Amino acid sequence: MKKRVAVMDLGTNTFHLLIAEGDADNFEVLKHETVPVKLGEGGINKGYILEAPFERGVTTMKAFGASIHSFDVQGIKTLATSALRNAANGKDFIEAVKAQAGIEITVIDGETEANYIYLGVKASGCLSEEKSLIIDIGGGSVEFIICNVNQVFWKHSFEIGAARLMDKFHKTDPINQESIEQLHHYLDEALDLLFQQLKKHQINSLVGSSGSFETFAELTEYHHGREIEVDAIKKYEFNCDILQTILQNIIESTHQQRAANPRITPVRVDMVVVAAVLTRYCIAKVNPDHLLLSTYALKEGALAELMV
């Protein structure tokens, strides 16, 4: 009998529900729902969940609970990351969800988050015998993982997610060069542990997992006069030069221009700018031979673990 399971990934910007059945290597998605809860809105760098996002989060979890009940799943995993890790009232949110939605939330640390991301990216088929650097740009944190298809050599979670960076550095429309330079300087210091590791490893591929990299892929395909359905693929390889053009266009764009672009989802309209700056910065530091998107990330890694 096929195993039917549900995974909920409660991120700083987006809550995901994934219900699937099968096994870790071959599963069928029965329901995939993404809700732009924006749990960190207004409070991400203050370490507090404000009232409006708190209520949006609880309401979303009640709806997720109803969906899970209707699918009669055999296993459930609910994982919370940066926003709930660091919020002073994170425990209050967890208790409210348990009381109102009947769902137990597990807050995972950055190392555990990075491990789930690795498992997800591995399942996408993006990894090989050569060494890759996985980058997962979340709203609250960014995970970097040096690995190949067989093992993880190093992983770390940095609390420098897109919502945090936007709050600190994206003050003008469009973002100005001074702010970009300040962001670069901040990253020079914040990512010192990463740079130490990059001296020890020859990186062949840079793999961006889901999130903003899906937007970059959609914009890249549109640049070629094509459309892409990222939900229908596991991986995608970028042309390095075209991606650099896409990133530059994002960085130079206004809020109005991005909001009018149907290939940029509303929850990413503003945060995609600092994500683009960070991605371009990392490409320059690594200079990889290949640039890839894995549409699989944390939730698919957790799903694979549940289905074992």
Please give the tally of structural domains in the chain: 2
Domain match, 78 and 163 both: no
Domain match, 98 and 133 both: no
pLDDT classification of 43: cutoffs 50, 70, 90: confident
Which are the contacts of 258, defined by CB distance < 8 A and separation ≥ 6? Answer: 250, 264, 269, 270, 272, 273
Domain match, 177 and 211 both: yes
Domain match, 130 and 205 both: yes
Any domain includes 236? yes
Q: Which of 108, 136, 160 is the last residue of a domain?
A: 108
Any idea which of 11-15, 41-45, 236-240 has the lowest mean pLDDT?
Answer: 41-45
Each residue of 96-124: pLDDT tens digit? 999 999 999 999 999 999 999 999 999 99
Query: What is this structure's pTM?
Result: 0.94
Residue 130: what pLDDT? 98
Is the per-residue pLDDT at 11 higher than 70?
yes
Is the per-residue pLDDT at 2 higher than 80?
no
- 278 is in which domain, residue-wise? 124-298
Domain match, 167 and 239 both: yes
SS (H, E, C) 28-68: EEEEEEEECCCCCCCCCCCCCCCHHHHHHHHHHHHHHHHHH
Distance (Å, whole) CA 98 – CA 212: 31
Residue 26: what pLDDT? 81
The total number of residues written for the chain in this structure: 308
Q: Which of 108, 132, 162 is the last residue of a domain?
A: 108
CATH number, domain at 167?
3.30.420.150
Is the per-residue pLDDT at 93 higher than 90?
yes
- Tokens at residue 26, please? 């071959």
Each residue of 69-81: pLDDT tens digit? 999 899 999 999 9
